[in-house]
């Protein structure tokens, strides 16, 4: 899922300081699950901002609403009605949600409360780790489910680099295992070690430009 973390309070307060009536919108999707932008975090941010603005003697009203997701038009019925009463929106969704809201209400300034950090998994309560960089050309089938982009410090596709330490850790970052060592171990355990010899050509890093996806069964709907 998408993981984010809240921006420093000073940065958020700086963005919002000229507005008098602010709507703080949370998201019940990824940012709620990663404990960054759910209802509870919306309440916390409101308290923090009120404290911050209060200290500066500013008279600001901040109201709250959390919706299921901010990246799908189906969930905006409540927000559509409320938005006209506010000077600004601060969104605790990921970057996708913030932009969706901004596109939907172009007259109202929309500000991000989070920095969207990565796509990853839950390691433990409150602890998330990146394991996908949405490169757009997934090779996990050949690397026994270990992503060489995120888990190799050099993002090598035909690794290892030769710098693997004796204990199996990475020469660049000794807190992580060498991804290609792990790939080798797992392919061997699965009896698929022949894949380790496959040479992958230089890739086209497609995640540097804006992308769009229409799932195959739905393509017909959007072609004229």
Q: Which residues of this chain interact with another protein, rule CB under 8 A?
A: 26, 28-29, 32-33, 35, 38-40, 43-44, 47, 65-69, 72, 74, 78, 123-127, 165, 167-169, 174-177
Q: How far is the CB of 93 from another protein (least distance, A)?
A: 13
Give the nearest distance from C-beta 192 to another protein in angstroms.
23
Instruction: Considering the complex, state which of residue 191 and residue 217 has its C-beta at the smaller distance from another protein.
Output: 217
62 SS3 class: strand
CB nearer to another protein: pick between 35 and 139: 35
Strand partners, 21: 61
| Nearest residue (CB) to another protein, 19 versus 53 | 53
H or E element that contains 22: strand 21-27
Alpha helix stretches (DSSP H) within 56-109? 77-82, 95-104
The minimum distance between CB 18 and another protein, in angstroms, equals 28
Token readout for 2 is: 């998408």
Contact 115, 7 (CB under 8 A): yes
Phi-psi region of 94 (alpha: psi -120 to 50; beta: other; left: phi over 0): beta
Q: Could you tell me the smallest distance in angstroms from the CB atom of residue 116 to another protein? A: 17
Contact 101, 110 (CB under 8 A): yes
Closer CB to another protein, 71 or 149, in the complex:
71
């Amino acid at each position: 899922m998408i993981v984010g973390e809240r921006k420093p309070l000073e940065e958020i307060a700086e963005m919002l300081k000229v507005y008098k009536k602010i709507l703080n919108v949370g998201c019940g999707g990824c940012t709620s699950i990663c404990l960054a932008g759910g209802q509870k975090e919306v309440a916390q941010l409101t308290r923090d901002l009120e404290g911050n603005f209060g200290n500066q003697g500013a008279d600001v009203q901040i109201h709250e609403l959390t919706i299921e997701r901010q990246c799908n038009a189906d969930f905006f019925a409540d927000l559509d009605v409320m938005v006209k009463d506010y000077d600004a929106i601060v969104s605790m969704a990921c970057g996708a949600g913030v932009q969706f809201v901004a596109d939907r209400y172009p007259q109202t300034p929309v500000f991000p409360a989070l920095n969207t950090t990565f796509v990853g998994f839950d390691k433990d309560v409150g602890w998330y780790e990146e394991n996908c960089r949405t490169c757009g050309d997934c090779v996990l089938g050949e690397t026994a489910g270990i992503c060489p982009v995120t888990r190799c410090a050099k993002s090598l596709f035909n690794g290892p680099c030769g710098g693997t330490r004796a204990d199996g850790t990475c020469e660049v970052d000794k807190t992580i295992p060498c991804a290609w060592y792990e790939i080798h171990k797992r392919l061997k355990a699965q009896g698929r070690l022949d894949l380790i010899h496959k040479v992958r050509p230089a890739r086209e890093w497609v995640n540097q430009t804006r992308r769009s996806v229409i799932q195959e069964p739905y393509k017909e709907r959007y072609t004229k």
